[in-house]
């Protein structure tokens, strides 16, 4: 490392976003080291990141080509141990009747967990990725996680579990740029990945889908059971409740007007279905809350915020009551559809992530 140059570890996934992020760091004059993560799913056949995932074998080759074009050192690092924890958490959550978001755990434990350790071993104090997000620091030194300039691509929802140390060592070089401009920049740089499709699927899920993956991992969990309507009547059969999610419509028996999954009990093999109106709720309890924009407020504190309960859901107004350092009661101004245990609920204030955690459930008197 040349004296006076900051060494930065750039995570290069093999996609256009991380390619342009790394290129910008090189252009700034940083001492950039490229790293591609080998998660252990690359050799699992169909599960090895299809064309729309983020860590298949083709992505590793693309990442190496990007680093070579930029003229930076490049390493492929095995993080299968950490990623196995992400997969296990995914399976356990579904087995408990919840709907997990493994990308949140991957960002926290792998991309900004293991990567920080790897960076330290390479003499780098900063980890840069191609996420669409921005960072700021308050005069008191607290890190803030700001929404990206491109609201369509904003990824702060998936980053809400990063702690202050992880945010302090992070860089998001493309957070102030819209996607079309990123692709134009990649094309101008001659990157072959300039037109590569965005990753949209979970990298460890096979083409057959997540229920096929769960069946392979936990075959004993797939016990034949029944669908029940809102009156408790049996209205159909299924081959296992695990893998169904609150709000799901596809794969349900036809019983007149559209029905949606309203409750899942994998142990009993029961899936309840109901009309859409029955899944409208105003209140959710949230656990595992990570506070970013401020320290955890005192219990009983009420904060007005904008909240999102699914990655693609619009922001909604809500009042957040602090129940404890890591628990919340969130009351929406208007009812919302399918508040799903296991999904993340992230609160925003003034264009920044206030806090976020995992939906634990809907109080019985609010369902």
How many independent structural domains does the chain possess?
3
Q: Domain containing 62 — which CATH number? A: 3.40.50.620
CATH number of the domain within which 228 lies: 2.30.30
**Is pLDDT above 80 for 239?**
yes
Q: Which residues contact 346 (CB under 8 A, 6 or more apart)?
A: 156, 157, 160, 307, 308, 353, 355, 356
pLDDT per position as a tens digit, 164-212:
999 999 999 999 999 999 999 999 999 999 999 987 778 889 888 999 9
Statement: residue 49 has pLDDT above 80: no
* DSSP 8-state assignment for residue 107: I
Does the residue 174 lie in any domain? Answer: yes
Residue-range definition of the domain harbouring residue 59: 7-195
Q: In this model, does residue 3 exceed pLDDT 70? A: no
**Per the domain annotation, does 31 fall within a domain?**
yes
Q: What is the pLDDT of residue 54?
A: 57
pLDDT of residue 206: 87
User: How would you classify the pairing of strands 31-38 and 74-78?
Assistant: parallel
**Are 295 and 256 in the same domain?**
no
pLDDT at 55: 61
285 pLDDT more than 90: yes
pLDDT bin (cut points 50, 70, 90) of residue 47 is very low
User: Under 8 Å CB-to-CB from 205, ≥6 apart: which residues?
Assistant: 47, 53, 213
Residue-wise pLDDT for 52-86, tens only, equals: 455 666 899 999 999 999 999 999 999 999 999 99
168-to-119, 162, 278, 353 alpha-carbon distances in Å:
14, 10, 43, 15
% of the chain with per-residue pLDDT over 70 = 93
Average pLDDT over residues 303-313: 94
Residue 100 backbone dihedrals phi, psi, to 5 degrees = -80, 165
Q: How confident is the model over 286-312, as a mean pLDDT?
A: 96
Q: Which residue has the higher pLDDT, 367 or 221?
A: 221
Residue 216 domain flag = no
Residue 125 has pLDDT above 50, yes or no: yes
The model's pLDDT over 347-364, given as tens digits with 9 standing for 90+, comes to: 999 999 999 999 999 887
The residues near 337 (Cβ < 8 Å, ≥ 6 apart) are: 247, 276, 279, 280
Indicate whether 289 and 318 sit together in one domain.
Answer: yes
pLDDT-derived band at 367, boundaries 50, 70, 90: low
Under 8 Å between Cβ of 198 and 155 = no
Task: Work out the mean pLDDT of the chain and round it to a whole number.
Answer: 92
pLDDT of residue 278 exceeding 70, the answer is yes
Last residue of a domain, one of 145, 177, 195: 195
Domain for residue 158, yes or no?
yes
Residue 41: pLDDT band (50, 70, 90) is confident
**Does residue 257 surpass a pLDDT of 50?**
yes
Q: Are residues 360 and 285 in the same domain?
A: yes
In a domain, residue 351? The reply is yes
pLDDT at position 40:
86
CA distance 44 to 84: 13
Could you give the C-alpha distances from 90 to 150, 324, 362, in angstroms and in order?
Answer: 29, 26, 21
What is the per-residue pLDDT for 159?
98
CA distance 77 to 230: 50
How would you write 56-79 as a 3-class SS string? CHHHHHHHHHHHHHHCCCEEEEEC
Query: In which residue are the tokens 């190496």 written?
Result: 64
Q: Is residue 186 part of a domain?
A: yes
Q: Tell whether 203 is covered by a domain.
A: no
Is the domain of 43 the same as that of 98? yes
**2: confidence class by pLDDT, cuts 50, 70, 90:** low
> Do 112 and 11 belong together in one domain?
yes
Instruction: Say whether both 56 and 103 belong to one domain.
Output: yes
One domain, residues 56 and 179: yes
Task: Check residue 56 and give its pLDDT.
Answer: 64
Instruction: Tell whether 330 and 360 lie within a shared domain.
Output: yes
Instruction: Give the pLDDT confidence score for residue 45 in this predicted structure.
Output: 45
- Domain check: are 115 and 235 in the same one? no
DSSP 179: H
36 and 158 inside one domain: yes
Looking at the annotation, which residues are catalytic? 106, 203
Asked if the structure places residue 92 within a domain, the reply is yes
Q: Are residues 57 and 140 in the same domain?
A: yes
Q: What are 74's strand-pairing partners?
A: 34
pLDDT at position 48: 46
Is the pLDDT score of 116 beyond 70? yes
CA angle 203, 88, 339 (to 5 degrees): 80
- Measured between its terminal Cα atoms, the distance across the chain in Å is 58
Q: Are residue 126 and residue 150 in the same domain, yes or no? A: yes
């Amino acid at each position: 490392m040349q004296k006076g140059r900051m060494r930065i570890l750039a995570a290069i996934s093999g996609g256009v976003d991380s390619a342009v992020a790394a290129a910008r760091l090189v252009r700034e004059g940083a001492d950039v080291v490229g790293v591609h993560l080998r998660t252990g799913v690359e050799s699992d056949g169909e599960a090895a990141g299809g064309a729309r995932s983020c860590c298949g074998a083709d992505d590793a080759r693309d990442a190496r080509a990007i680093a070579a074009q930029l003229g930076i050192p490049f390493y492929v690092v095995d993080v299968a141990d950490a990623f196995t924890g992400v997969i296990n958490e995914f399976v356990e959550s579904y087995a408990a009747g919840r709907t997990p978001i493994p990308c949140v755990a991957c960002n926290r434990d792998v991309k900004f967990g293991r990567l920080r350790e790897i960076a330290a071993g390479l003499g780098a104090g900063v980890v840069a990725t191609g996420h669409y997000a921005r960072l700021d620091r308050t005069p008191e030194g607290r890190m803030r996680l700001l929404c990206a300039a491109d609201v369509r691509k904003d990824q702060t929802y998936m980053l809400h579990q990063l702690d202050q140390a992880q945010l302090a060592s992070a860089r998001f070089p493309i957070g102030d740029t819209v996607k079309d401009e990123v692709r134009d920049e990649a094309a101008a740089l001659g990157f072959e990945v300039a037109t590569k499709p965005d990753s949209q699927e979970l990298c460890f899920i096979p083409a057959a889908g997540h229920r096929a993956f769960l069946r392979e991992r936990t075959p004993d969990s797939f016990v034949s059971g029944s669908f029940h309507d809102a009156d408790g009547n049996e209205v159909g059969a299924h081959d296992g409740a695990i893998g169904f999610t609150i709000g799901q419509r596809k794969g349900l028996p036809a019983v007149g007007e559209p029905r949606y999954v309203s409750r899942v009990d994998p142990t009993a093999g029961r899936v309840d279905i109901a009309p859409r109106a029955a899944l409208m709720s105003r209140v959710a309890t949230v656990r595992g809350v990570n506070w970013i924009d401020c320290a955890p407020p005192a219990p009983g504190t009420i904060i007005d915020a904008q909240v999102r309960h699914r990655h693609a859901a619009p922001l909604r107004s809500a009042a957040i009551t602090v129940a404890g350092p890591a628990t919340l009661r969130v009351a929406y101004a208007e009812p919302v559809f399918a508040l799903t245990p296991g999904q993340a609920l992230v609160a925003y204030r003034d264009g920044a992530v206030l806090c976020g955690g995992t939906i634990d459930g809907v109080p019985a008197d609010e369902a």
